[in-house]
A and B are shown apart, each in its own frame.
Chain A
């Protein structure tokens, strides 16, 4: 391709204009004439049998147009991507506080909320299990079926006994991570309307439109082509608008077809936090054997993930954990087991990082412990054990690409004089405020890997005036996928970005491209965009040859012109060339389909070529700890990632910054806490995410080792950027205080006392079950008629 014109430039985002002017339409901004308001009656118990649901009084309320319970669902009543066990409306029992029991469609929100209060539910409360390790015990209450353990992934390499026998010493630690709320600022919303064809049309804040569509079609007994889901501009997702949106789409669609009217559903923040899934909390038992020289002889890791009430993505999330549980370090003998178990907590699923932030915390803490034990510095120990090209991973995969782990580590360390500071800070005498510095690094499999079929489609359609429409099955939720794909199409077609209009994803107008997860937007959607644009370019150049009577090698499309490569002479404008193509009846339309390269997995043996390529990253955090209060201030973070190729520099930097901020929240601030399966916080007054005052000075370093697998060499950055800040901060705290944090987040009490303090009963958003959450959170107001 030669030198790129558009790729690598900090182009403005294609969707920015709408977003700065208030014209962008998010799901809650859509309205339809005569729309009804849909509301959900949620459970009052985290675990209970449902004896009776009486909706008669609500049905008779003036202004209520429909009340639905599970038996009113014509088709499949449960959904789930791996295991179908999540009910659209509870069937026989409720398994967590977010479960829905009944739906109401009413003329106003106030009537709908009043209607909810008129529904009578009789429960038989069941024993609750809220701790994943307790849930594994045989005597524990069962959430589904006979066994709460529903996933067990393993990785086996070498001989673990021999590995420990060869070791000079063994380090054994237990780590714990917490529930995290995605905290997209836009709460969930949909508008469902009956369609002319007897089906339904839904506009919503949906991340994975195709899987949501499958469940809506199954619930309503409709063919997929009669369920149209259109993505509204998405106000953040981070993996979070998947199943919770599937259930909302199903519910709104049911109400809409029942009433024959448009039905709008919008969650309040309290409803959103109460119902939506979270990041999995893990309990991690890590036992490593090593030699006095710092080489690792054995790694035995056992992780238990709290899957909460439903299967959701647990199976996939924990699979990534099992593959990456030993980090980017060489070791001959590995035994890793990762389990997921049901509890009565909120179910847990996809969240940016997807099973890596948890294990990275354990791995990177262990590496520092190892360094301490053999008197090396944390950088040294990582360079000693870290992967290079040709290394064999724990799953037996040979890394046959540019393994840039050591490059990113060196660049990060050099940017902040890591070793000098690390030595200085650890030998500083005790003081009220102490500095510390810590490093963390990782390797991360790109895209879905052997988790599932991995393919995506993008359409490039040139209009008669030379403007271009691009659309894809890959969704943009704020990460910039639309802009990356547009830049790739513009580069291939030799046109400027202002010619491109990107359409939000519509399930009826583009091929099912799977979910937009696993940092696969650029590598999958972008590769498909490149193919689509290349199809169109081939036609353009064919016509150009006929038009100019030059051979194809002497022609190039650049800067909106057809140019003679030798003379630089502009032969025709892009629009003129396009016009000629239309006159000759040539198709100015390309559909690109990209299927990922080969991956494999043997679940029984716990081995395989898990991902077709990997990315490498390192973070270094410099903190100041108040040794009298335990408060940690993060001063500086260096973030280095090999992204393959930065398609859009400023968007890549945006991912670096946002990833570090979210990682900081994970490490220091955020914890979605439960008391016996009752959430203790339901809004941003008590669930704290980083503000502009919390985010440190961030030094971003983009490393570009182009990868053959990606478009123009690009790989991914969305998740890698988010998985290293927390462990780097934890290691920095150790450097400052000499005390290791084994449970996140590193709150004041954990830093100061080494344990958490429980707050008194009377505080908090959720005081007791009887004061209904629905009533308390959804401000009931007098009816306005």
Chain B
């Protein structure tokens, strides 16, 4: 199998890499780049642990082939913190005890980030829908929804 070249931006940093066309974005992140914050839970797009933003939209990295990110921009959990400052979502997750075992957390944060980008005033149902592709076995989702809700509307801290 021959490698192909891609150009991409991940968490604000530009990359030019040569990759195998059958590699997934998830493998690229975890194995080639050492960005292990993005988790692998099912590899079939069911659990959402590998959720990242592709041009601002939440996608399962296990279902994206690496060549598909050519010319596009990726954001992972490692990219949430800016200039040593946590994203308000990260603070809110900690304050609401929305983090238990933490394995779903990176994907959950990215889905939350995506919904808040498109619906700054997302209500309960919209939030629940946005994270319905992210499985969590620990929390029963209640504190996660509360944490995301805190960042919406008038409470919201604008970027």
Interfacial residues, chain A to chain B (CB-CB below 8 A): 10, 12-13, 15-26, 28-29, 182-187, 233-238, 268-269, 477-480, 648, 650-651, 653-654, 656-662, 683-685, 689-693, 695, 698, 779, 781-782, 784
Contacts and interface: CB of A to CB of B under 8 A. Distances in A.
Residue of A28, A187, A480 contacting most chain B CB atoms (<10 Å): A187
Nearest 8 Cβ contacts at the A-B interface: A22-B37, A478-B101, A19-B102, A235-B103, A661-B140, A657-B140, A650-B97, A684-B46
30 contacts: A12-B94, A13-B99, A16-B102, A19-B102, A20-B80, A20-B99, A21-B37, A22-B78, A23-B37, A26-B39, A185-B135, A186-B49, A236-B103, A238-B137, A269-B42, A269-B44, A269-B47, A480-B100, A650-B143, A654-B97, A654-B139, A654-B140, A657-B141, A657-B142, A689-B135, A690-B140, A691-B141, A692-B141, A692-B144, A693-B128
A348 B47 CA distance: 24
Contacts of B102: 15-16, 18-20, 24, 233, 235, 478
B59 interface: no
A185 B1 contact: no
A650 B144 CA distance: 12
Contacts of B44: 269, 683-685
Contacts of A698: 140, 142
B77 A21 contact: yes
Contact of A22 (B36, B43, B139, B144): B36
Contacts of B36: 22, 25-26, 28-29
A781 B90 contact: no
Given A185-B137, A269-B41, A784 B100 contact: no
B51 to A, nearest CB: 12
A19 B105 contact: yes
A269 B49 CA distance: 12
A695 B22 contact: no
Contacts of B77: 20-22
Given A480-B100, A695-B141, A20 B93 contact: yes
A511 B97 CA distance: 30
B123 to A, nearest CB: 13
A13 B1 CA distance: 46
B131 interface: yes
Nearest to A696: B140
B99 A19 contact: yes
A235 B39 contact: yes
B109 interface: yes
B86 A692 contact: no
B143 A236 contact: no
B93 A16 contact: yes
Contacts of B20: 784
A661 B90 contact: no
Contacts of A781: 22
Contact of A693 (B104, B132, B139): B132
Contacts of B145: 692
A693 B141 CA distance: 9
A236 B137 contact: yes
A235 B90 CA distance: 18
Contacts of B35: 22
B101 A236 contact: yes
B61 interface: no
Interface string B62-106: 000000000000001110110000100010011111011111111
Given A25-B36, A29-B30, A478-B100, 9 more contacts: A12-B97, A185-B101, A236-B101, A269-B47, A480-B100, A656-B140, A657-B141, A657-B143, A684-B135
B38 interface: yes
